Amino acid sequence: MSAIKAKVEDAASSAKAGTEKAKAAAGEKVEKATTRDPVRKREAEERKEDRKLEIESDERVEKAGHGPEKHKVEE
């Protein structure tokens, strides 16, 4: 049962990360559309990439906590 729960939690984490990545991409597009300065456009792209990496890292950490609980084998 815990394996099923872990899979459901992993799916929820992936969906949450996907929406956050989409928000980062949309924000970057808005920033790029509102400026003509190439430096600011590049900064917007870099912020988006940094945010995506942060989201992916958070997702991996969150998924690591979902694994099925392991029981110690006593000798």
24-61 confidence digits (pLDDT tens): 999 999 999 999 999 999 999 999 999 999 999 999 98
Q: How many other CB atoms are found less than 10 A from the CB of residue 28?
A: 20
How many domains are there within the chain? 1
Strand, coil or helix: 68: coil
Give 23's pLDDT tier (boundaries 50, 70, 90): very high
Q: Is residue 23 assigned to a domain?
A: yes
Amino acid in the structure at residue 21: K
Q: Is residue 57 assigned to a domain?
A: yes
Predicted pLDDT of residue 19: 94
Q: Is residue 53 assigned to a domain?
A: yes
Q: Domain range spanning residue 20? A: 2-62
Q: Is residue 25 assigned to a domain?
A: yes
Q: Which residues lie closer than 8 Å to 16 by C-beta, 6 or more apart?
A: 59
Q: Is residue 73 assigned to a domain?
A: no
Q: Is residue 17 assigned to a domain?
A: yes
Say if residues 28 and 34 touch (Cβ distance below 8 Å). no
* CA 72/CA 3 separation, integer angstroms: 17
